[in-house]
Amino acid sequence: MTDWLIPVLAGAATGVLSGFGVGGGSLLLIYLTSFAGLPQDQAQGVNLLYFLPTAGAALPAHFKNGYVDKAALLPAILTGLAATALAAWAATALDTGVLRRCFGAFLLLIGLRELFRREPPAPGAEQSPR
């Protein structure tokens, strides 16, 4: 039972953040590798799959509330698909220990950036779009 319960709870907790678009996936990766004991590449695979239902559940509300910028979608997705295919291929070819070190360095950069970010977002930027 707890074999299932803890993973479902971990997915739900990080899923709220993922639904926001704030890197819940990175938190789930940390959980999967540091607590659930998955190898880095397996954890990354699980995390990719996990984002599909999570995003699928959050997106209708985002579209309905008018928060999705449709003009930005197509160019970003097109180059994103090409880049992600290359990177996924590279990651699955790499030694998992090396991959884990790279992941740690990435987290360190992101964490420091977020911690020392100066300006809170301008009030005008928070407004709902037309």
Partner 1 sequence: MSKRGTESNKLWCAAAGGAAGLVNGFFGGGGGMVLVPLLAGKCGLGQRRAFATSVAVIAPLCALSAGIYYLRGGLDPAAALPYLIGGLVGGLVGGRVFRQVSMVMLRRVFALLILYGAYKALV
For 117, phi then psi, to 5°, come to -55, 130
Beta carbon of residue 16, minimum distance to partner 1 (angstroms, whole number): 4
What is 46-63 written as a DSSP string? HHHHHHHHHHHHHHHHHH
- Does position 48 interact with partner 1 (CB under 8 A)? The reply is yes
Contacts of 66 (CB under 8 A, 6+ apart): 128, 129, 130
Site for partner 1 in 26-45 (CB under 8 A): 26-30, 32-34, 38, 41-45
The amino acid present at 74, given as its one-letter code, is L
Site for partner 1 in 95-124 (CB under 8 A): 100-108, 110-112, 114-115, 117, 120-121, 124
Site for partner 1 in 5-24 (CB under 8 A): 7-24
Beta carbon of residue 96, minimum distance to partner 1 (angstroms, whole number): 9
